[in-house]
């Protein structure tokens, strides 16, 4: 028991540590997890989760796959599909079918797999998955069009890869059994239909209970988790392998009910999915044996991977986007980038077992084949996306951008200074009249409510590393900061100091929900805009060997406000009471000073 507890602790620790290392050093997380899992498993032999966990191993993998698929389907809002445009619709419909067909043909003729196994693995390999593609997009800082295509392909196709694999497996299994009768086929179709009913029932039931106040806030996340498991197990008990269909339908049902608690559920599934992705990926890679690892270098598997990389994927994109407005270079980039990830590996591990049980002996190489493709695509695409997007002119500015929430004379003039420094900047405000300042100075702006659920699709957040909330209302600034913590992280969220006696008269707020204080004490909305009206100007001061930052501070006139430092490296640092911001030689200090300050 102690040994098992230690192994479980080790799996969780290595998974989360891998995620942290990937974040800290800007590496593809799945690459780090794969390396850590291989080192802990087949290389150094520290653990073998499949043997250590025994009968628990397969159920844990199965439930994890169900929860991960629920995560993907919870993002599938049909309103968003209608607004995605012709290229994306083509890629997620015609493109997905082409990818399935080409992947299956490659698996049969090149990897030498039977038709049954080929069509199952072909379905699994259409999935790119948001857990892999989104971190890569944020690092590469693609322009909105290619980023949107890759992002939504990953989210929309994600739930359907396993579904296609399920149906392919069931139908081919029935076709290869001599005793197949109409009754058995009808039983399968009935079981599949029942899985859909179970998914709709549980999804609608949870949504209705949440909306009508039958569940307290502190129980919502646990109820979602246990309900997903219930839907999966109940459906799988009635008809094997239909649990995946049930949880996917459940997620889609919830996503399209547009309930107010959907944001809470998304936070839940993001957190639980990160933990599951980490733990399950470590378990899967650590359970590989050295023979499986070495078999990846088999010529058939290498040829299959090369064919998927250089023929199947590009052909799928170019054929499915004929007649759309996609440029050739956009097709080239999208046709190259298709990293497979955790869903592909976990689902293939799930199907490897049931295919072997069904008598398809060639399924024994399924794990090797999938791991080879996953590892190859994540490494190659992860490290080539940034380089290729720059070569094709499809990446945004490499400098970290700033998203400014709240249009005023101060914020728009500050945005103009950032724009002059070639720092990507956008001013967002729900009021068209307040945005007149931005229109007058020709500063990029977006007329939208930043807290709307449509924000992700109206504003491309990829170029922006920082968000600063500079509206007149302190409570609104705090709400924005707490809402966008998952997207930006606390270190990159700033808001103006409280006004206390002005605005909404907010006297205090918990640091746990607010952003970092921007600039300095007293530099609130009223003070900054009064300074602009009083003639204060933005000043850029270069720090040199002859003029140090210490000398600059000594010369600074009383009443001026230190705003930020533009580093010579291209990064930026805002002045804040919580930051010990200092400028070095080659940096530029931005301040708000009196017009006669030279």
Domain 401-593 has CATH 3.40.50.300: no
Mean pLDDT within 518-533: 85
Above pLDDT 90, what percent of the chain?
12
- Residues ≥6 apart with Cβ < 8 Å to 271: none
The whole-number pLDDT of residue 98 equals: 93
- To which residue do tokens 């109206």 refer? 458
Q: What is the pLDDT of residues 134-155, one digit of tens each?
A: 667 766 777 777 877 887 787 6
Bin 535: left if φ > 0, else alpha if -120 < ψ < 50, else beta. Answer: left
Give the C-alpha separation, 552 to 554, whole Å: 5
Give the C-alpha separation, 552 to 558, whole Å: 13
Q: What is the pLDDT of residues 213-226, one digit of tens each?
A: 888 878 888 888 89
The whole-number pLDDT of residue 101 equals: 92
- Residue 577 pLDDT more than 80? yes
- Per DSSP, the three-state class of 541 is strand
Question: What does the DSSP 8-state code read for residue 556?
Answer: P
The whole-number pLDDT of residue 117 equals: 87
Q: Please, are residues 172 and 111 in contact by the beta-carbon 8 Å criterion?
A: no
Round to the nearest angstrom and report the end-to-end CA distance of the chain: 73
The whole-number pLDDT of residue 598 equals: 46
- Residue 131 pLDDT more than 90? no
Per-chain mean pLDDT for the chain: 81
pLDDT band at 297 (very low <50, low <70, confident <90, very high): confident
Domain 2-391 has CATH 1.20.1730.10: no
CB atoms < 10 A from the CB of 558, how many? 5
pLDDT band at 133 (very low <50, low <70, confident <90, very high): confident
Q: What is the pLDDT of residues 372-416, one digit of tens each?
A: 888 888 888 877 887 888 888 887 656 788 899 988 888 999 999
More confident residue, 412 or 516: 412
Mean pLDDT within 494-523: 68
- To which residue do tokens 């080879």 refer? 372
Mean pLDDT within 200-210: 92
Which ranges of 25-114 does DSSP label H, i.e. alpha helix?
29-38, 49-53, 57-73, 78-82, 86-90, 96-109
- Residue 114 pLDDT more than 70? yes
Give the C-alpha separation, 248 to 255, whole Å: 11
- Residue 129 pLDDT more than 70? no
Domain range summary for the chain, segments of one domain joined by +: 2-391, 401-593
The whole-number pLDDT of residue 312 equals: 93
Q: What is the pLDDT of residues 309-349, one digit of tens each?
A: 999 999 999 999 898 878 899 899 989 988 887 677 777 87
Considering only CA atoms, which of 277, 283, 260 is closest in space to residue 452? 260
Give the C-alpha separation, 257 to 289, whole Å: 45
- Residue 174 pLDDT more than 70? no
- Residue 81 pLDDT more than 70? no
Q: What is the pLDDT of residues 240-294, one digit of tens each?
A: 767 878 888 898 888 888 776 666 666 666 667 778 878 887 887 888 778 777 8
Side-chain half-sphere of 400: how many Cα atoms within 13 Å? 15
- Residue 171 pLDDT more than 50? yes
Residues in the chain: 598
Helix (H) / strand (E) element for 298: namely: none
pTM summary value: 0.68
The whole-number pLDDT of residue 168 equals: 76
pLDDT band at 100 (very low <50, low <70, confident <90, very high): very high
Q: What is the pLDDT of residues 416-464, one digit of tens each?
A: 988 888 888 899 888 888 888 888 888 888 887 887 655 655 666 777 8
Give the C-alpha separation, 343 to 64, whole Å: 10
């Amino acid at each position: 028991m102690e040994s098992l507890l230690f192994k479980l602790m080790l799996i969780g620790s290595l998974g989360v540590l891998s995620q942290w290392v990937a974040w800290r050093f800007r590496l593809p997380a799945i690459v780090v997890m794969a390396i850590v899992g291989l080192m802990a498993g087949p290389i150094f032999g520290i653990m073998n989760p499949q043997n250590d966990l025994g009968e628990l191993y397969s159920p844990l993998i199965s439930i994890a796959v169900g929860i991960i698929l629920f995560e993907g389907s919870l993002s599938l809002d049909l309103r968003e599909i209608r607004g995605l445009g012709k290229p994306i619709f083509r890629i997620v419909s015609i493109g997905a079918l082409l990818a399935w067909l080409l992947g299956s043909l490659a698996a049969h003729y090149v990897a030498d797999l039977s038709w049954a196994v080929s069509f199952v693995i072909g379905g699994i390999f259409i999935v790119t998955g948001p857990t892999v593609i989104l971190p890569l997009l944020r690092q590469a800082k693609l322009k909105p069009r290619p980023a949107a295509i890759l992002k939504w392909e990953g989210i929309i196709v994600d739930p359907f890869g396993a579904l296609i694999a399920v149906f392919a497996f069931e139908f081919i299994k029935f076709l290869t059994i001599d005793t197949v009768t109409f009754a058995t086929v009808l039983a399968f179709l009935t079981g599949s239909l029942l899985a859909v009913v179970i998914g709709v029932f549980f999804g609608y039931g949870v949504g209705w209970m949440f909306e009508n106040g039958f569940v307290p806030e502190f129980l919502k996340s646990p109820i979602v988790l246990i309900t997903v498991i219930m839907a999966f197990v109940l459906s799988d008990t009635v008809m094997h392998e239909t649990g995946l269909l049930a949880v996917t339908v459940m997620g889609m049902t919830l996503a399209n009910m547009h309930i107010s608690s959907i944001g809470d559920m998304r936070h839940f599934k993001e957190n639980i999915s990160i933990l599951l992705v980490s733990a399950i990926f470590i378990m899967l890679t650590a359970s590989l044996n050295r023979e499986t690892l070495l078999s990846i270098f088999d010529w058939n598997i290498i040829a299959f991977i090369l064919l998927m990389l250089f023929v199947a994927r590009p052909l799928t994109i170019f054929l499915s986007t004929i007649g759309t407005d996609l440029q050739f270079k956009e097709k080239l980039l999208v046709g190259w980038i298709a990293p497979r990830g955790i869903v592909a590996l976990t689902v293939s591990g799930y199907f490897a077992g049931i295919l072997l049980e069904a008598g398809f002996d060639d399924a024994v190489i399924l794990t090797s084949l999938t791991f080879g493709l996953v590892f190859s695509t994540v490494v190659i695409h992860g490290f080539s996306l940034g380089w290729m997007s720059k070569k094709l002119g499809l990446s945004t500015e490499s400098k970290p951008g700033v998203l400014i929430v709240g249009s005023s004379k101060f914020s728009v003039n500050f945005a103009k200074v950032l724009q002059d420094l070639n720092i990507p900047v956008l001013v967002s405000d729900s009021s068209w009249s307040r945005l007149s300042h931005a229109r007058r100075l020709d500063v990029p702006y977006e007329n939208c409510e930043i807290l709307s659920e449509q924000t992700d699709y109206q504003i491309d957040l990829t170029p922006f590393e920082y968000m600063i909330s500079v509206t007149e209302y302190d409570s609104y600034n705090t709400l924005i900061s707490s809402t966008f913590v998952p997207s930006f992280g606390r270190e990159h969220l700033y808001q103006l100091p409280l006004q206390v006696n002005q605005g909404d008269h907010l006297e205090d707020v918990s640091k746990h929900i607010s952003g970092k204080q921007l600039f300095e004490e007293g530099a609130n909305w009223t003070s900054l805009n009064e300074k602009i009206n009083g003639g204060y100007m933005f000043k850029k001061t270069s720090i040199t060997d002859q003029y140090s930052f210490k000398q600059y501070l000594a010369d600074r006139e009383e009443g001026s406000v230190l705003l930020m430092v533009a580093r010579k490296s291209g990064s930026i640092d805002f002045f804040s009471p919580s930051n010990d911001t200092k400028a070095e030689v080659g940096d530029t200090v931005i301040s708000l000073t009196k017009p006669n300050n030279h």
